[in-house]
Amino acid sequence: MTARYPLLYRSVQGLGLLLALFSFLAPGLLAQMQFWAALGLIVLIGIPHGATDYLIFQHLARPLWGNGSMLQFYACYLAIMGGYALAWYLLPQLSLLFFLFISMYHFGQSNWNYADLGAGWKNRAAHFIWGAFVLSAPILWHYEAAVPIITHITGEAPPAMAATWRRAVVAALFIINLWASLYYFLEGAISWRDLRNEVFNLIVLAIVLTQLPLLLGFAVYFVGWHSLSSMMDQIRFFRDEDRQYGWRHYFRNALPLTAVAITGLAALAWLQNEMALAMNIGLVFVFISVVTLPHMLLIDQLYKAHDSP
C-alpha cells in the first residue's frame, strides 16, 4: 500500500497515531464529537472520491460504444442504486451482509492493487482477508456501540458475543494478514520494503481501529487510507490520456455528483432530525451504501483496465 504514495500514507499513519494517543489521554472528548467529525470527513472527502465515476466510465466505454454510452451509464447507475435501495427496504439483513461482503473485497483490492498477486483465488482471498480485518476490527472491538446501529439498520439485534471471542477474531484476522504479507514476499510478489510497509501499516490500522471510537476510527481509515488513495489512483488513470490532469481537475469533475449526493444526504438529515443518534447513523450508512455500490463495481473495472497489458 505505502509503496504507491509514501508521503500520503506516512501522513495518515502519523495522524492516526496522534488521534489514538489523544483518545487515550482524553477518551470522552473524541467519543462526544465522533459522529460529526466522521460525517464531516465523509462529506468532504469520502463522497467526492466516488464522484468521478461518470468520467471513469467515459474513459473505459467511449472507445467501444461512443458518446451514446453515457446514457447507458446513467441508466445503469441509477438502476443499481434504486434496486439496492429497494433491497434495503425489503431485505435489510441480507443487504447489510452483501454490502459488508463486497466492501471487504473493495477495501482489500484498494490496498493490494500495487502488487502483482497473480490471478485466481489467491488474489481474491488476499483482498477479502485484508478487507475483513479493516471492517471487523472496529465493529467487533466496539460491539456495544455497533449493536444499536446494526439493530436500526436491519430491524433485529445482532447476536450477543463475548468480548473475549470478538477480540480473538480481530487478533486472528490481524495475524492472518501478517502471514499473507509474508507469503507474498516469499512468493516474490512484493519486495522486502513492501513487506515492512505492510506490517507497519497493519499495526497502525490495528491501533487506530481499536483505540479510536467506532465511527471516528472507521472514518479515519475510510478517508485517510482508502478515499485519498483511490482519488490518486483515479488521477493516475486519467493522466493516461491527459498528462496535465491533477487535483484541481479532479475536484472540478467531482463537484456535480458530490453536490447531488450531499443534497440527498442533507434532505435525509432534515427529514429525520428528530430521530435518535443511532437511527441517524444507520440512515447515513444505508445512504452511503446505496451511492457507493455502483462505484465499487466501476472501480473494479478501472483496476483491471489499468493493470492489463
- Range from 27-36, 66-75, 164-173 that averages highest in pLDDT: 164-173
Query: Is residue 301 over pLDDT 80?
Result: no
How does the average pLDDT of the chain come out, rounded?
85
Half-sphere exposure at residue 285, Cβ-oriented, CA atoms within 13 angstroms? 25
Give 116-127 pLDDT, tens digit per residue.
877 777 778 899
Give 245-299 pLDDT, tens digit per residue.
989 999 999 998 888 888 877 776 666 554 444 456 777 788 888 888 888 888 8
Give 154-213 pLDDT, tens digit per residue.
888 899 899 999 999 999 999 999 999 999 999 888 999 999 999 999 999 999 999 999
CA–CA separation, 38 vs 142, rounded Å?
A: 16
CA–CA separation, 90 vs 84, rounded Å?
A: 10
Q: What are phi and psi of 41, to 5 degrees?
A: -65, -40
Residue-range domain boundaries for the chain: 6-307
- Range from 57-61, 217-221, 293-297 that averages highest in pLDDT: 217-221
Query: Is residue 309 over pLDDT 50?
Result: no
